[in-house]
């Protein structure tokens, strides 16, 4: 049987939070022995909304350090920066000649993000899912581990690959999304009706993976809860549902097991206290490894270059095949 190829990406646009960690990164780390693994810091995606160049440059390196600290092992996985491999931009053009405007208009994330942009909406924000499809298809990816919010983009990728293959021959592998059972959609602690996001300001919105134990405690203890005391997951009570979801993601338990675990809790305070302890312990090794790595940026830069050098030939071959199939190049 052909070996699986896992590909996924993350935008280096701010501090990595537990949504990114439980929704995506934890799966990347856990699966490293089972497949070929390629992970990408998608800096070109970051440019779809305004960025400060020097800040972005720093965040690319910082995000790389967080991923290595989280357990991405350079002996098993390739980690690289999207803009270091020119083929991402190149394949995007060919795929954008296959994608339709209507398809892109249906992307819910475009609708949300374009509404959030004051002033003008960049064309790149609209074509962003085509770049994401190129990322995935360049490496003959079989599995794409992502949080729930990226599922629609992976479905679009599948659709573009199928359209392309139907018109021009069998060039692309059709990838599958891999969404975790727990932690696929962690909500903000300040407002459990909104997805936890890197771009939402305010210190009580997200728990960042590099937060100190004190910060974790403050954020969890101040988390918005619902009226009532029942510790039960219920769409009408998003606050406690989110806390139980985070507990399940951190411990590997199911949501039902999390409810059973807290059956005797005397209200939300008990749940919050235990959650603080679990999160502090879960994130402690990551924070410690990050402190070591951050003193050696040269090694991290080298690892990123090696990652790009290793994947470039795969990307280049795919682009050549796609161009040839379309009658150019
Ligand atoms: P990004 O940078 O927004 O998020 C990185 C990963 O974290 C997941 N995630 C969450 N999971 C659970 N709860 C949350 N609140 C939460 N917030 C984010 C995301 O689903 C994602 O898996 N477009 C992508 C990056 C990308 C990509 C790709 C991913 C570009 N090319 C190719 C996979 C394959 C994005 O903006 O992710």
Q: Which of 76, 151, 195, 218 is catalytic?
A: 195
C-alpha 73, offset from chain centre: 17
Q: Which two tokens stand for residue 224?
A: 């918005």
Catalytic status, residue 26? no
pLDDT for 1 equals 57
CB of 135 closer than 6 angstroms to any ligand 1 atom: yes
- Residue 298: CB atoms within 10 Å: 7
Q: Which two tokens stand for residue 311?
A: 């994947």
Helix axes 151-168, 123-138, angle to 10 degrees: 70
Q: How far is CA 60 from CA 107, 165, 239, in A?
A: 26, 34, 32
Q: Pick from 136, 139, 134: which is nearest to 3 by CA?
A: 139
Three-state SS at 81: strand
Q: What angle do CA 50, 51, 54 make, to 5 degrees?
A: 160
Q: Which residue ranges of the chain lie beneath pLDDT 50?
A: none
Residue 237 alpha carbon to ligand 1 centre in Å: 25
**For 220-253, how does the pLDDT look when each residue is reduced to its tens digit (9 = 90+)?**
999 998 887 888 999 999 999 999 999 999 999 9
pLDDT for 3 equals 82
Output the CA torsion sign for 165, 133, 129, 311.
negative
C-alpha 180, offset from chain centre: 12
Among protein residues, the one whose CA lies closest to atom 36 of ligand 1: 11
Which mutation among 23, 26, 113, 125 tests ligand 1's pocket best, with the greatest number of atoms within 8 A of CB?
A: 23
Quote the CA–CA distance of 71 and 33 in Å, as a whole number.
12
CATH 3.90.1170.50 fits 5-184+296-326, yes or no: no
**For 62-88, how does the pLDDT look when each residue is reduced to its tens digit (9 = 90+)?**
999 999 999 999 999 999 999 999 999
Integer-rounded Cα Rg, in Å, for the chain is 20
pLDDT for 323 equals 98
Q: How far is CA 206 from CA 177, 191, 215, 269, in A?
A: 25, 10, 10, 19
The domain 213-291: what is its CATH number? 1.10.240.10
Q: Which of 26, 76, 111, 113 is catalytic?
A: 113
The conformation of residue 135, written as its DSSP 8-state character, comes to: H
* Domain residue ranges in the chain: 5-184+296-326, 213-291
Q: Which two tokens stand for residue 195?
A: 């997805």
Residue 291 alpha carbon to ligand 1 centre in Å: 24
CB of 9 closer than 6 angstroms to any ligand 1 atom: yes
The β-bridge partners of 10 are: 41
Residue 258 alpha carbon to ligand 1 centre in Å: 25
pLDDT for 318 equals 98
The model's pTM is 0.97
């Amino acid at each position: 049987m052909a070996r699986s190829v896992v590909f996924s990406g993350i935008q280096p646009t701010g501090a990595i939070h537990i949504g990114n960690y439980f929704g995506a990164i934890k799966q990347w780390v856990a699966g490293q022995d089972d497949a070929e693994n390629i992970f990408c810091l998608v800096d070109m995606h970051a440019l779809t909304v305004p960025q400060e160049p020097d800040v972005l440059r720093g965040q690319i390196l910082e995000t790389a350090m967080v991923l290595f600290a989280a357990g991405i092992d350079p002996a098993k996985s390739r980690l690289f920066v999207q803009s270091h491999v020119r083929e991402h931009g190149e394949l995007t053009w060919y795929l954008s000649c296959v994608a339709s405007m209507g398809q892109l208009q249906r992307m819910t994330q475009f609708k949300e993000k374009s509404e959030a942009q004051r002033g003008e909406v960049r064309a790149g924000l609209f074509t962003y899912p085509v770049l994401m499809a190129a990322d995935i298809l360049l490496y003959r990816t079989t599995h794409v581990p992502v949080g729930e919010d990226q599922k629609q983009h992976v479905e679009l990728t599948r659709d573009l690959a199928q359209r392309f293959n139907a018109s021009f021959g069998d060039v692309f592998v059709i990838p599958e999304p891999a969404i975790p059972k727990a932690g696929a959609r962690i909500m903000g602690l300040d407002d459990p009706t909104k997805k936890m996001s890197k771009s939402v300001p305010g210190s009580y919105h997200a728990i960042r993976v590099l937060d100190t134990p004190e910060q974790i405690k403050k954020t969890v203890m101040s988390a918005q809860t619902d009226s009532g005391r029942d510790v039960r997951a219920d769409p009408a009570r998003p606050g406690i549902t989110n806390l139980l979801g985070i507990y399940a993601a951190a411990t590997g338990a199911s949501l039902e097991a999390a409810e059973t675990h807290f059956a005797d809790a005397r209200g939300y305070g008990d749940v919050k206290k235990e959650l603080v302890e679990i999160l502090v312990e879960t994130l402690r090794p990551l924070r410690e490894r990050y402190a070591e790595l951050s003193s050696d940026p040269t090694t991290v830069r080298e690892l990123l270059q090696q990652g790009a050098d290793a994947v470039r030939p795969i990307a280049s071959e795919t682009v050549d095949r796609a161009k040839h199939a379309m009658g150019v190049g």
